[in-house]
Structure 1
């Protein structure tokens, strides 16, 4: 019988002697699960590999179990716990490529200062990316005008991030000034419009007199008669009129027909 496979009496003794409470499994930090489990194993004096294995298998949720199902269905003859531990950590630990995708897809500048953006990217990288790679990914997220200057700058990432912060701050002040100028122009336009309106309404008789003049002119036009008793079509279009409304004496005065 292999050394790491205890007899049933020893396994049963361990299982009845202790009570283990498995911690929650964090998919982005699978190693923490085993660190906490092993701390409980040490407190409970559990040293048997098969006992540890059964505790871990019983504590896995459906999602984790499905992703390591092959190992659960076909465990090795020995070192079951250690092998399962390796499989689970490998399955849920991000590779460098996954980390790169996270950096590319999830991190944006937004309202962050360039230096704070760099800090956040470093935290995600967990020292697994070189400064050159990190610099490239960081620069891609900066505004074009800032990136163009930082690309040709010298110094380490910390120095460059401070330079980028300064440029971003200056750009923000410039944008605020531009908005302020536009607001000032609009305010002046509003003031001029008010002055014109006040001048128009403050004239003696103002708009009231102007309106009465229009009405009087309209009345005089409506009362006046055309020089010739022509309908409105012949009065306007002459011999080219397509219509005629009686009474109309256009034919009487149309000399072209004679």
Structure 2
């Protein structure tokens, strides 16, 4: 005689609680951190600005809280999470100019000819920043100090 197994109830329980476990805060890339956090919010059905704010603040280490002190001490009544996100982005994400300077600083002239170095800097800067003042300043700084004023004057004349 075949063995009879009891029926299996494969339905999920009516209430299923999965706690939000935010990853450690990533100060050098808060965009990725927020994306990971928001994925958890979706998976755990966290919808209110206030709840999102609370989870986000809980995940920020104490030594990083000083940077966002004001919003922690006095959170806004409306849109608390969005405001927190904006404040963190403003503090931790460098401006385009700062990013461009950091990128160009990693590429010294070395043995390259000056014209080739300028072409390389423009290439690294991308189409939006090709002729930016930051690229020009970085290129001029690659010249010897005694020549820099002359190069600057020549560029201003042209």
Calculate the TM-score normalised by the size of structure 2.
0.62
Determine the C-alpha separation between the residues in 1 that align with 2:82 and 2:136: 39
Q: Is the 8 A contact 1:23 1:33 kept in 2?
A: yes
Secondary structure of 1:68's counterpart equals helix
2:148 corresponds in structure 1 to none
Q: Is the 8 A contact 1:104 1:137 kept in 2?
A: no
1:77 corresponds in structure 2 to 77
Specify whether residues 109 and 61 from structure 1 end up closer, same or farther in structure 2 by C-alpha distance, changes over 3 A only: farther
1:52 corresponds in structure 2 to 52
For structure 1, the 5+ residue unaligned runs are 1-13, 153-258
1:132 corresponds in structure 2 to 131
Specify whether residues 119 and 28 from structure 1 end up closer, same or farther in structure 2 by C-alpha distance, changes over 3 A only: farther
The aligned runs of 1:221-240 (5 Å cut-off) are none
The structure with higher relative contact order (CA 8 Å, sep 6+) is: 2
2:87 corresponds in structure 1 to 87
For structure 2, the 5+ residue unaligned runs are 1-14, 145-150
1:220 corresponds in structure 2 to none
Determine the C-alpha separation between the residues in 2 that align with 1:41 and 1:71: 21
Determine the C-alpha separation between the residues in 1 that align with 2:50 and 2:120: 46
Determine the C-alpha separation between the residues in 1 that align with 2:88 and 2:61: 12
1:20 corresponds in structure 2 to 20
Q: Is the 8 A contact 1:109 1:117 kept in 2?
A: no
Q: Is the 8 A contact 1:30 1:89 kept in 2?
A: yes
Determine the C-alpha separation between the residues in 2 that align with 1:64 and 1:86: 15
Calculate the TM-score normalised by the size of structure 1.
0.40
2:5 corresponds in structure 1 to none
Two-structure CA RMSD over aligned residues (Å): 3.6
Specify whether residues 69 and 111 from structure 1 end up closer, same or farther in structure 2 by C-alpha distance, changes over 3 A only: farther
Q: CA deviation at 1:62?
A: 2.2
- Larger Cα-atom Rg: 1
Aligned residues: 129
Q: CA deviation at 1:86?
A: 1.2
The aligned runs of 1:91-170 (5 Å cut-off) are 91-99=91-99, 101-103=101-103, 107-110=107-110, 114=117, 118=121, 121-122=124-125, 130-133=129-132, 135-137=135-137, 139-140=139-140
